[in-house]
Amino acid sequence: MNKSEISILLLRVFLGISFYIHGLAKFKKGLANTAEHFGSLGLPEFLAYAVAYIELFGGIALVFGLGSRIVSILFGIIMVGAILKVKLSAGFLGGYELDIAYLIIALLIAINGSKLFALDHLLFKSGNFKTKTT
């Protein structure tokens, strides 16, 4: 266990919890209301459903280290969309500074992966599900 893996684990869990809470808020507010908000931004309303599910289930997956790189890429795409469509006009302070932080954390995990206490590492690197190569 090295310092780098511990740091990435902390970021992975933080990002996962943060997105889970954002996704949960969309469900509590009502997906139809979220879809209406997306429509008011000029986005297709079906994207609200996709974003809510990615945030909720992706957040859980990220906490447990399942599909970390893929989930992080999806979170990065969501953050780019949020910054460009919603937060950019508000400026950095009070606008998109947290979104940039989420984006950078997501990119770090997408690039480096996260092995420490990750289901991916346990399932796919331990030999349990390795495919036979010839």
The per-residue pLDDT string of the chain (134 residues; one tens digit each, 9 = 90 and over) reads 799 999 999 999 999 999 999 999 999 999 999 999 999 999 999 999 999 999 999 999 999 999 999 999 999 999 999 999 999 999 999 899 999 999 999 999 999 999 999 998 888 875 555 544 44
Q: Is 125 helix (H, G, I), strand (E, B) or coil?
A: coil
CB burial of residue 48 (10 Å; 0-12, 13-18, 19+):
buried
Confirm if 116 and 6 have CB atoms less than 8 A apart: yes
CA atoms within 13 Å, Cβ hemisphere of 15: 35
Q: What is the pLDDT of residue 128?
A: 53
Q: What is the pLDDT of residue 122?
A: 83
Considering the entire predicted model, what is its pTM? 0.89
CA 30 – CA 38 distance, rounded (Å): 13
